[in-house]
Amino acid sequence: MTAPSPHERPLIVQSDQTLLLEVDSPGAEACRAAICTFAELERSPEHVHTYRMTPLGLWNARAAGLDAEAVTAALTTWSKFPVPETVLARLVETMDRYGRLVLADDPRHGLVLVGRDRAVLEEVVRAKAVAPLLGPRIDEHTVGVYRAERGRLKQALIKLGWPAEDQAGYVDGTAHPICTRPGEAFALRPYQQQAVAAFAAAGSGVVVLPCGAGKTLVGIGAMAAAGARSLVLVTNTVAGRQWRAELLARTTLTEAEIGEYSGERKEIRPVTIATYQIVATRRGGLHPHMDALSGEDWGLVVYDEVHLLPAPVFRMAADIQSRRRLGLTATLVREDGREGDVFSLIGPKRFDAPWRDVEAQGWIAPAVCTEVRVTLRDEERMAYALAEPEERYRVGATARSKLAVVEALCASATGAGEPTLVIGQYLDQLQAIGERVGAPVLTGKTAVAERQRLYAAFRCGELGVLVVSKVANFSIDLPEASVAIQVSGAFGSRQEEAQRLGRLLRPKHDGRQARFFTVVARDTNDQEFALRRQRFLAEQGYAYTIVDAEELTGDMRWDRAS
C-alpha cells in the first residue's frame, strides 16, 4: 500500500506495549484493521482508543500467519512518532517463541514434539510439568508424545512461554452431511461469512462476535463445512433447545438426527447438543457423561460461550485434540485468567468483530447505559457498616431502598411499551422485586418447561416484565427485550456485564435503542464493583451516564423512536 502522509498517521506506540489510536484521524480505520490482528482493544472512549500487545495476542497473530516483520511494518507505517526500539525488540522476541516447538504426526513414531531450536527442546523436556506427558526420546530434535496428552502438553508449554505450533492435523470423524437451506433461511451476513471461512481454513480456533450478532449461524456454517458428526456444548438446556430449533430451521437436518444430552435426556445422534453441566457431572471420582461423549467419532466440537468453560470441560477439550474445535463467544475475558487455556486447547482467535462496528452496520441494536445511584436509608447504611467484610457486597447490593427505584423504572418502561428484564444475583432480592412489580421470577430452580413457557410469553408480549437470575445471562434469545434493569451481580465480573447487556442487542423492528440500567447502592462496595464490571463495555465504546435515583424517577418519560 502507499505510505500514509504524516497527518493520516493516527497511531502512537508507547514503550509499555500500548498503542493509542486517534479515532478521528483520516487513517484511523485502515490503521485499526492493521493492528487488530495482533493487539487487543483495552479501552475505547470517544477520541482515543487504547490497544495492547500481549504475548497471547502476538502468538495469536503468528498462528494466523503473521510474522514479526509484518507487525513491525504495521507499527512503523501508521505511527506518527518513531516506534520505541524496545517495543520492536520485544515483539520480535515474543513472536519468535511461537513455533520453535512443533507438534507433528510422524509416519513411524506417531505424535512427536519437534524442536526447531534444540536448546528450547532440552529446556522443556526437563520441566516438571512437561516430562510426564512425553514418550521416548527419538533423536536430538524429536521426542515422542503420548497421543492422549496432546492437549495437556500444549497447556503446559504455553505456561512455560514456549507455545507449540500444532501441525498434527485432525481426523475427519464420521461423515454426516449437514446442508443449509437455500435463500433467506440461511443467509449469512458478510462478517459471518468471513468468520466461517477463517475457521474452516484453520480447523480449530475461536470466533468472537457481540451478543446478538448471530454466533449460532456461524456455528451452523462451520458444521456444514465440516460435513461430519458434530457435538455442540452449551450453557444450559434452554440454550440447547434454541440451537436445536435453529438447526431445524436453517438446515435439512431432521429431528431424528439431532440429539439432546442433558439432565432430562441422554440422546447421542449425528448432531448432539450437550450442556456443560452434564459433561462436568462427577460420580465416584469419574465423569461418566464426558467419557461417553468423548468416545464418539466427532468431526467437529462446538463450544458455545467458550469463555465459560468449566475446568472439567477443559479436560475434555484436552482429550479430543484430534477433533476440529470451534469456540464461540462475545468476549474472551475470563475472571480466572484462563484465556491461555482457551488458546491452547480450543485454538487461537480466528475472527473478531468489534461491538461498535457491528452496531454501526445495523446488525445489533444501539444501547444507552445508565448507572442509577440509590442513597440508602440510615438503618441500611448502619447494617452495611456493621456487616462482616465478606457479606458487605450482598448487604449493599440487596438494600430494600432499591425496590422503589426498580418499581418506578419497570412502570415507566412498560408504560412506554418496552419489554423489560430485571436481572440479579440474589434469589430473595429477586422474589421481593417480583412481588413488588407483579412479575414472574425465573431462577435456576425453575423447570425447563416453565422457563420455555415464560420466555415464550415474554416474546409474544403477554409478559411485559420478567425477573430473572443469572441463568438468563447466557445464550437466551429474547429479541423483544429493550430494557434491562440490573440490581446485583457476580461482584466485579466484566464478562457478566457484557452478557447482560447482550440480552438487549437483538435489532429492534423499529430501529429503537436498547436501555441498560444498573441500580447501585451509593457509598458501598456495590458502587466499586459496578465500576469494575463496566470496564469491558467501556472498552467496547459504551459510555455509562451516572444519575441519582431521585432525578431519574422524577421524570421517566422516553421516546420509543429515540
Query: What does the pLDDT read at residue 561?
Result: 39
> Which pLDDT tens digit goes with each residue over 16-29?
999 999 988 988 88
What distance in Å separates the CA atoms of residue 494 and residue 334, rounded to the nearest whole number?
A: 8
The pLDDT of residue 1 is 53
Q: Is 477 helix (H, G, I), strand (E, B) or coil?
A: coil
pLDDT at 356: 75
What is the pLDDT averaged over residues 156-178?
94
Compute how many other C-beta atoms are within 10 angstroms of the C-beta atom of residue 91.
22
- Residue 556, all three cell numbers: 421517566
Sketch out the chain's domains with CATH numbers: 6-97 (no CATH), 101-166 (no CATH), 183-358 (3.40.50.300), 365-554 (3.40.50.300)
Cα 200–Cα 498–Cα 30 angle in degrees, nearest 5: 55
Average pLDDT over residues 108-124: 96
Looking at residue 335, its pLDDT comes to 64
Is a pLDDT exceeding 80 seen at residue 87? yes
d(CA 170, CA 326): 13
CA distance 505 to 492: 22
Widest CA span of the chain, in angstroms? 78
**What's the residue count for the chain?**
562
Dihedral sign, Cα of residue 263, residue 323, residue 185, residue 461: positive
Residue 376 carries which DSSP code? Answer: P
Torsion of CA 399, 400, 402, 407, to 10 degrees: 160
Please give the average per-residue pLDDT across 265-288, as a whole number: 89
Strands 101-106 and 134-139: unpaired
> Residue 223 half-sphere exposure, CB side, CA atoms within 13 Å?
32
Average pLDDT value for the chain: 88
* φ, ψ at 150 (rounded to 5°): -55, -45
Residue 439 burial (CB < 10 Å; 0-12/13-18/19+)? buried
User: Is residue 558 predicted with pLDDT exceeding 70?
Assistant: no
Distance, in Å, from the CA atom of 206 to the CA atom of 204, rounded to the nearest integer, reads: 7
pLDDT tens, residue by residue, 307-348: 878 777 887 888 888 899 999 988 776 767 778 888 888 988
Cα–Cα distance list, 18 to 11, 12, 15, 48, 440 (Å): 10, 8, 7, 12, 47
β-sheet bridge partners, residue 351: 207
- Of 12-26, 285-299, 306-320, 513-527, least confident by mean pLDDT is 306-320
Q: Which residue has the cell 415464560?
A: 454
Q: What is the pLDDT of residue 475?
A: 57
What is the DSSP code string of 150-182?
A: HHHHHHHHHHTT-PPEE-S-----SB---PBPS
Q: pLDDT (tens digit, 9 = 90+) per residue, 351-396?
A: 888 777 888 888 888 888 899 999 999 999 999 999 998 899 999 9
Instruction: State residue 136's pLDDT score.
Output: 95
Residue 75 corresponds to which amino acid?
Answer: L
- Percentage of residues in the chain having pLDDT higher than 90: 56
Which of the four pLDDT bands, split at 50, 70 and 90, describes residue 554? very low
Q: Decide: 360 and 210 in contact? Cβ < 8 Å.
A: no
Edge-to-edge strand order for the sheet containing 349-352?
Answer: 258-261, 271-275, 230-234, 300-304, 324-329, 204-208, 349-352
CA distance 236 to 255: 19
pLDDT at 474: 66
Q: pLDDT per residue over 37-79, tens digit each?
A: 899 877 777 788 889 999 999 998 998 889 999 999 999 999 9
Query: Distance between terminal CA atoms of the chain?
Result: 41
pLDDT in tens, 208-251: 888 888 899 999 999 999 999 999 999 888 889 999 999 999 99
With H, G, I as helix, E, B as strand and everything else as coil, classify residue 46: coil
Burial annotation 176-211 (CB, 10 A radius, 16+ → b, else e): bebebeeeeebebbebbebbbbbbbebbbbbbbbbb
- What pTM was estimated for this model as a whole? 0.79
Nearest to 40 by CA among 299, 352, 273, 419: 352
Collapsed DSSP state (helix, strand, coil) of residue 239: helix
Mean local confidence (pLDDT), 409-432 = 92
**Quick check: 434 pLDDT over 50?**
yes
pLDDT in the model for residue 559: 47
